C-alpha cells in the first residue's frame, strides 16, 4: 500500500518535462521520480544519482559542489520542503528514507586556524552515509563524517555531529540517544 504522500502525488506535464530534462543532466535518474516546483540542482549534476520513486518537494536544493563530489539517493526516499543537501566529497542516502523539511546535510566545513581569514582557510570534507529506512526530523543538521545506521530516527531540530547506530532514536543539540526502535 502506498503511503499518503505517494498516493496523492499527481505528475503533471511540467513535472514530466522536468523529469526528461534531468534524465540527461544527472549521472543516473530512476523511474517515477517526482519533482515539485522550485527544486534546484546546482553544479556538477552528472555526479548525482537518484533511484526510482524519489520525491523532491518544493524548495529543495541539491548540489555536488565540485567535480569530484557525489550524491546518491536511494529508491522511495523523500526529500522535504526546503531541504539542503550539499556535497564536497560524498553523501549517500539509502532507500525508503524521509528527509523532512528544512533539513541541512553538508559534508564539508572550513578550517578555524587563528591569524588566517576564515574565507581563506582550507575546506575540510568527510563522507556522510545515511542508511535505509531513516527518518530525519524537520530542521535537523547532519555534519561531515556522520554515518546514520539503518532504521534510525533523528528528532526535529537535532544537530548530528557523531555517527548513529542502527535502529536508534537520537535528538537534541548535539544529538544524543533517547531511545531504540522496537
- Say how far apart CA 35 and CA 55 lie, in whole Å: 6
- Say how far apart CA 156 and CA 50 lie, in whole Å: 25
Question: Is 8 assigned a catalytic role?
Answer: no
Q: 150-153 contacts: CB < 8 A, separation 24 or more?
A: 150/94, 151/181, 152/181, 153/181
Rg of the chain, C-alpha, whole Å: 16
Burial (0-12, 13-18, 19+ Cβ within 10 Å), 170: buried
Catalytic residue among 16, 46, 110, 113: 110
Q: Which residues of 42-69 are buried (b: 16+ CB within 10 A; e: fewer)?
A: eebbebbbbbebbbbbebbbbbbbeeeb
Give the catalytic positions in this structure: 110
Amino acid at each position: 500500500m502506498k503511503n499518503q504522500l505517494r498516493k496523492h502525488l499527481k505528475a503533471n506535464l511540467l513535472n514530466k518535462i522536468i523529469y526528461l530534462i534531468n534524465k540527461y543532466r544527472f549521472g543516473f535518474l530512476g523511474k517515477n521520480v517526482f519533482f515539485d516546483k522550485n527544486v534546484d540542482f546546482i553544479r556538477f549534476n552528472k555526479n548525482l544519482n537518484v533511484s526510482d520513486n524519489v520525491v523532491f518537494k518544493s524548495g529543495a536544493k541539491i548540489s555536488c559542489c565540485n567535480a569530484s563530489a557525489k550524491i546518491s539517493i536511494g529508491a522511495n526516499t523523500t526529500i522535504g520542503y526546503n531541504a539542503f543537501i550539499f556535497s564536497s566529497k560524498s553523501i549517500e542516502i539509502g532507500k525508503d528514507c524521509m528527509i523532512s523539511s528544512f533539513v541541512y546535510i553538508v559534508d564539508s566545513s572550513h578550517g578555524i586556524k587563528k591569524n588566517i581569514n576564515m574565507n581563506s582557510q582550507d575546506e575540510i570534507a568527510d563522507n556522510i552515509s545515511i542508511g535505509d529506512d531513516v527518518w530525519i526530523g524537520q530542521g535537523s543538521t547532519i555534519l561531515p563524517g556522520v554515518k546514520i545506521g539503518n532504521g534510525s530516527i533523528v528528532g526535529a531540530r537535532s544537530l548530528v555531529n557523531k555517527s548513529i547506530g542502527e535502529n536508534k532514536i537520537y535528538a537534541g543539540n548535539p544529538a544524543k540517544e533517547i531511545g531504540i526502535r522496537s
